[in-house]
Chains A and B, each alone.
Chain A
Amino acid sequence: MPALPDGLPMPGDGALPAWVGTARPGGTERSDPHGHASHATPAPGDGGDPRGVVPAAGGAQDAPRGRRRFGVYVHVPFCSVRCGYCDFNTYTAAELGGGASQVAYADTALREVGLAGKVLADVGLPERSVSTVFFGGGTPTMLPAGDLARILDGIRGAWGLEPGAEVTTEANPDSVTPSSLERLASAGFTRVSFGMQSAVPHVLATLERTHDPARIPDVVRWARDAGLRVSLDLIYGTPGESLADWRTSLETVIATGVDHVSAYALVVEPGTKMAAQVRRGQLTLPDEDDQAAKYELADELLTAAGLGWYEVSNWARTADDACRHNLAYWRGNDWWGIGPGAHSYVAAAATPAPAVATSATSDGGGPGGGVVPAAGPPDDDGEARAGVRWWNVKHPRRYAAALEAGGSPGAGRELLTPDEAYLERVMLGVRLAEGLELAVLRPAGRHAVAGLVARGLLDGPAALGAGERPARAVLTLRGRLLADAVVRELTA
C-alpha cells in the first residue's frame, strides 16, 4: 500500500492551525471558491456538447453563501480477499487476526466523526452542512448495511446533510443483494459505485477479482430499482488484456445503460503481489501505447453511447450524473476523511482582498479565481499558508486505539504554501472538462498556453474564451493523455 506522505507531526488533539478558522468575510466572491462554476452548469436538457463534454454539475453557486463546501469521506479498510494489484489501505479478516475491529468499526469511525465536529468547531469554522459523503475502501459493503447507515446517521447528526446531498458507497458486485441495496437507499444513500474492473473472465482472474461478470447487469438493475444512481468502475491495461477484451468490457458496461463510468489505467504499485509477479516475469505489463489506445477506445465508445468525459478518468451521461464528491476534490473544497489512512483537507481562511479577480478579463498574473488565496494567512513561522492536509495512521488497530484514547488518529500533516496550493490547483483543475480558468495561472503558465494549443494539447477555442465562457485551459483528447506534461508546462 502506498506509504503515507512525509509530513509534520500532527497535534495530539488533532487541532487545526488557527489560520484555518480566521473569520472568512461572508458573502464575498472570494469566499465562494466557484463563482465561475455557473458558466459550467448546462441548461437543463443540454446534452449535446459538441466535444462530448459533460459540464460538471454541482457548481458551488448553490452552496450557502460565505462557506466553502464540505464533504466527508469514510474509509472502510476491509476486504474479503486482497486483490493482487491492490495497494489500498485495506485488510482481510485473516490479516487482522479476527473480525473484532470490523465489528467495532462503525463505533470507531463515529468517534472520529465526533472528533471532527469538535475540531472544526474549535478552530472557529462556521457551521456548514455536508454536501457529499463517499464511502470507499476496501469494500464498504463488507460492513452490514446497518453499520454504514449508522455512520451516515452520525455524520448527519454532527453537521447535517444539505438538501439533495450526494451519498455514495463503493461496492463489490458480489457483496450486494437487492435487499441490501434497498436498505442503503432507505438509509439515505443516493449512489453506488461498483468495482467491476472488467467483463472478461481471464482479465478478472489476473486481477484476482472474485466476482462473476455475469452478475453486472443484475446488480446495476437492482441498484437502479432501489433508486440509486450507479457508476461502474473499469480498469484497463491489465497484463494479458487485449484491445478486443477491453472493447468487450466497455460494450458490456454500455449495455447496462449506466449513467457514470470510471476507467483507470492499471498502475502496478511497488509492494503489491502483482508487482512481484511482474518482477519475476510471470506477468508482462502493457506498454504506454497500449494504455493510450485503450483510453482512446474508451473515450470513443463511451462518447458514442452518450457519456461525456467530465474528468480525465470519468464519464457521465449528464451533469447531474457526475460524482459531486470527487468534483469537490478537484475543485479544492474542504473534506474530512474518516478512517485509517484517510486524508483530509481544509483550506486556509482567505485573507480579505479588496478586489478579487475571478474572471478571465482580469489581467492580474496572480491566482485569481478558484481556491488559491493570493497570499494565505501566515503560519507561526511567518510563512503564508493556503491550507492544511493531514492523514490518519494506516492500521485499523492503531487508528482505533488513538480514538479510544481520546486523541486524534492523525499521523502527520502538511501546511501547504501558496506555491504548493497553486500547483495542486492547476494539477487538479486541468483534469476537469470544465477546465481551469486562465486567470488562475501565473504569467509563465499563461505564456505556456499558446504552445500547448499549438501542439494540440489544449483546446484552442476554450483558451480564447469562446462561447462566452471565461478563457480556460481545457485538455484535448491527446492532452488528457499527456495531462501531467501539460501541468508541468503550465506551472513551469
Chain B
Amino acid sequence: MPPIPTESATARIQPNATAPELIRNFCIIAHIDHGKSTLADRMLQLTGVVQPRDMRAQYLDRMDIERERGITIKSQAVRMPWAVTGEDGTETPHALHMIDTPGHVDFTYEVSRSLAACEGAVLLVDAAQGIEAQTLANLYLAMENDLEIIPVLNKIDLPAAQPDKYAEELAHLVGGDPSDVLKVSGKTGEGVEALLDKIVATVPAPTGDADAPARAMIFDSVYDTYRGVVTYVRVVDGDLNPRERIVMMSTRAQHELLEIGVHSPDATPTKGLGVGEVGYLITGVKDVRQSKVGDTVTNAHKPADTALAGYDDPKPMVFSGLYPIDGSDYPALREALDKLKLNDAALNYEPETSVALGFGFRVGFLGLLHLEIVRERLEREFNLDLISTAPNVIYDVTMEDGEEVKVTNPSEFPTGKIGEVREPVVRATILTPSEFVGTVMGLCTDRRGQMQGMDYLSEDRVEIRYTLPLAEIVFDFFDQLKSRTRGYASLDYEPSGDQAADLVKVDILLQGDQVDAFSAIVHRDKAYDYGVLMTGKLKEIIPRQQFEVPVQAAIGARVIARETVRAMRKDVLAKCYGGDISRKRKLLEKQKEGKKRMKNIGSVEVPKDAFIAALSSDPSSGKDKKK
C-alpha cells in the first residue's frame, strides 16, 4: 500500500486543524522540459488526490499555452496527504503543499514570491541535459530564501541520461555528496515515493505565531471567469476564516472572505487556513490588481502592525506596440487586453497611434516570453491578427537644459540637445558547454557586454557572467545565442540598474516621411548597420510606385543610409481581347480590393504586409545577407 494516511490519521491533517509540524511546503525548481509537470502528475497520483481514471498529463497546467509549450505560467498550490512510518513503526500523516512556480526568468518576481511561501525546494534537473541557467537563477533565489534544497535528477529512464555526471554537478552547486542526489523518473514513477519521504524528512516544518494577528502572503492571484479573482496565500501567523473581513496591507482595501480553501487539486472550501498552510481566498474582486502578488492579507478587526517583507510592484521591462492588422479590430484588441489584464497584474498598456500601423497599444511586459505569451493569447483566445513592433526598453533621457524624459517608444525620443541617455542593464548568466565559450564571449562583446566572471561547473560546462544592456537582449540575443551554440547554451538575466550610453534614434524615412514603426534607439556604433539593414529590407519589400521613392535612414537630420525604390515603368496587360475581359476585370477588382490593405506614408503606398514582413523577419538573417 502506498503511504496514504489512514482515515484516523487523516483527521490530524485537516485544514486549519493541522499542527504546523505536520506541514511541509515545497516547490519544484526546474528548467522548461526538465519534467516538472510530469513529476507533479506522479505525486498527485501517488498521494491519491487524483484518481487514476481522472488523470491526464500535466494535470496542473491549465492554459492551453502552458500545456502546449510545456511551461507553467501561473503557479498552483496543491495539498497532498503523505504518511511516513517512523522507526518505531508508527505512522505519521503529513500535509504536503506543493507550490508550482513559474519557471521562466520573465517571472522572477513571481517566482521569488512563490519561493517565499515554501521552506524547501526540489531542484529538478534533467539527467540527460544538466542544469540550465534559468534553473540556476531560481536556485539562487531559493537559497536566498533559505530553502532546504533537495537535488533530484529526473528522466533517469532515458538512454541518454548521465546521472553520475550530473549528480556531481548538482552536488558541486548545492553542496553535499553526489550520492545524496535522488534519481527519479517522472515518467515511470521510479524514485518518486522516496522523494516524497525525503521531503517530509528534510524540509523544515513552517513556524509561525498561531495567536498573533493573521498575516498571509499572496503569492499568486488568478482570474477565474466564474469565481472572480482567486488569490493564493501562505498563512504565516494567525489564521483566516470564512466570512471574515480582510485587509490588503499595501492598499488598505477591505474585502469579505467569501470562500477560503485548499486545492487538492480541485478547489475545496475549508473552515479556514492556519499557520503554515497554503490555500486560496475568494473575495469577489474582479481584477487581479486588487490582489497583488507579494501583498500581505490580514484580519480587518485584528490587523497586524507590519506587512510581510518583500512586496514589490511588477515593473515592465520590455515594450512593444501591438496593432491589429485589420484596423477595425482595435476595439476588440482593447477588450481582449482588458480581459487579460484581469489575470495578469504585470500587463500594462496605453493607446498609441502609428502613422504606419494605425491605432494600437504600447504594451509593457516583464520580458520577451511574457510578450510572446500575451501576443499568442491575444491571437489564439481572442482571434486577433496582430502586428507587434520590435520590442524596446525604457530609456531615461536627460536634456542639456536638465529636462528629463522617459522614453518607452522610440518615436518619443526627444529631439534637441540631449545631455545623457541611460538604458537598463541586466546581469546575465550564460551556461554553455565549454567548447562554445569563445563564441558566447564574442556575442556578448558584440552586444556591448562587460564580462563579470566565469566558472567551470564541471569539466565541460561553464557559467559565464556578463553585464549587458537589456536592449541588446530583447533584440535577438537569445536566438543568436541558441543558434551559435547549437541550442546548448542557456541564458538567465536579472535587472541590475542602468548605465549611460551613447544612444541615438535612427529614423526611417520614405520619400522624406518618417515611418514611426521603424524608428529605433541604437548605439551610435550600430546606427549605420541598422540603417543599412532597414533601408535594404524596405527597398525589397516596398512595391515600385509611379515615382521614385527614396528610403533613408537618418539620425536627426543626417542621412546615414539610403536606398531607392525605382519608379514603376510598366503596369499594363498587353493583351486584352474578348476572352480576356472577364479575367482582366476580376484582376482589377482584386487589385482595387488590395489597395484597401495599403497604408499611405505620404504619397507612397505600402502594403500592410510589407510592414509586417519588415518588422517580423529575423533581423540577423538580413544582416548576414548584406555581406
Q: A: which residues have CB within 8 A of B?
A: 2, 5, 7, 73, 263-265, 267, 288-289, 291-292, 295, 312-313, 326, 329-330, 335, 337, 341-345, 389, 391, 414, 420, 423-424, 427-428, 431, 455, 457, 480-485, 487-488, 491-492
Contacts and interface: CB of A to CB of B under 8 A. Distances in A.
A329 B575 contact: no
B569 A483 contact: no
Interface in B573-620: 573-579, 581-586, 588-589, 591-592, 595
A424 B581 contact: yes
Nearest to A265: B574
Interface string B290-304: 000000000000000
B588 A487 contact: yes
B53 interface: no
Contact of B591 (A330, A455, A484): A484
A481 B578 contact: no
Given A420-B585, A424-B585, A427-B588, A484 B577 contact: no
Given A292-B570, A481-B572, A343 B592 contact: no
Contact of A428 (B571, B572, B576, B595): B576
B194 interface: no
Nearest to A337: B578
Interface string B536-555: 00000000001100000000
Nearest to A2: B583
A95 to B, nearest CB: 20
B582 A389 contact: yes
B568 interface: yes
Contact of A482 (B566, B571, B581, B588): B571
A408 B595 CA distance: 39
Contact of B571 (A345, A427, A484): A484
A234 B585 CA distance: 25
Given A343-B578, A488-B592, A427 B568 contact: no
B572 A483 contact: yes
A265 B571 CA distance: 11
B595 A488 contact: yes
Contacts of B586: 5
A264 B570 CA distance: 13
A3 to B, nearest CB: 9
A427 B586 CA distance: 11
B345 to A, nearest CB: 48
A343 B579 CA distance: 5
Contacts of A326: 577
Which among B574, B581, B589, B591 has the highest number of chain A CB atoms within 10 Å?
B574
Contacts of A488: 588, 591-592, 595
B579 A491 contact: no
Given A389-B582, A420-B585, A455 B546 contact: yes
A485 B546 contact: yes
B598 to A, nearest CB: 11
B579 A337 contact: yes
B583 A481 contact: no
Which among B576, B589, B592 has the highest number of chain A CB atoms within 10 Å?
B576
Given A481-B569, A482-B546, A488-B591, A342 B585 contact: no
- Considering the complex of A and B, which 9 residue pairs feature the smallest CB-CB distances, nearest first? A292-B569, A483-B572, A264-B574, A265-B574, A292-B570, A288-B570, A5-B582, A343-B579, A484-B571
B592 A482 contact: no
A264 B575 contact: yes
B591 A482 contact: no
Contacts of B568: 288, 482, 485
B588 to A, nearest CB: 6
Nearest to A291: B570
Contacts of B588: 423, 427, 484, 487-488, 491
A481 B575 contact: no
Contacts of B546: 455, 457, 482, 485
A313 B570 contact: no
A246 to B, nearest CB: 14
A2 B577 CA distance: 14
A481 B571 contact: yes
A289 B569 contact: yes
Given A420-B585, A484-B571, 7 more contacts: A263-B574, A291-B570, A312-B574, A313-B574, A313-B575, A343-B578, A488-B595
Contacts of B575: 264, 267, 313
Contacts of B573: 267, 484
Contacts of A5: 582-583, 586
A455 to B, nearest CB: 6
Contacts of B585: 420, 423-424, 427
A481 B577 contact: no
Nearest to B575: A264
Which among B546, B570, B577, B586 has the highest number of chain A CB atoms within 10 Å?
B570
A389 B581 contact: yes
A485 B568 CA distance: 10
Contacts of A2: 583
Contacts of A492: 592, 595
Nearest to A75: B579
Nearest to A3: B583
A482 B572 contact: yes
Nearest to A344: B578
Nearest to A345: B578
Contacts of A329: 576-578, 581
A337 B579 CA distance: 9
A482 B573 CA distance: 9
A462 to B, nearest CB: 18
A488 B424 CA distance: 50
Nearest to B569: A292
Contacts of A263: 574
A333 B147 CA distance: 90
B589 A423 contact: yes
Contacts of B572: 312, 480-484
A481 B570 contact: yes
A479 B575 CA distance: 16
B148 to A, nearest CB: 66
Contact of A343 (B571, B576, B581, B589): B581
12 contacts: A292-B570, A312-B574, A329-B576, A344-B578, A420-B589, A423-B589, A427-B584, A428-B581, A481-B572, A484-B588, A488-B591, A488-B595
A2 B586 CA distance: 14
A243 B9 CA distance: 97
A481 B589 CA distance: 19
A288 B568 CA distance: 8
A456 B610 CA distance: 28
Contact of B578 (A73, A264, A313, A431): A73
B217 to A, nearest CB: 63
Nearest to B587: A484
A414 B582 contact: yes
Contacts of A480: 572
B571 A485 contact: yes
Contacts of B569: 288-289, 292, 481-482
Contacts of B577: 326, 329
Contact of B581 (A291, A312, A345, A491): A345
B334 to A, nearest CB: 31
A218 to B, nearest CB: 27
Nearest to A455: B546
A389 B582 CA distance: 8
Nearest to B579: A343
Which among B574, B576, B578, B584 has the highest number of chain A CB atoms within 10 Å?
B578
Which among B547, B573, B584 has the highest number of chain A CB atoms within 10 Å?
B573
Contacts of B582: 5, 7, 343, 389, 391, 414
B438 to A, nearest CB: 39
A341 B581 CA distance: 13
Nearest to A5: B582
Contacts of B571: 481-485
Contacts of B584: 427
B583 A431 contact: no
Interface in B379-409: none
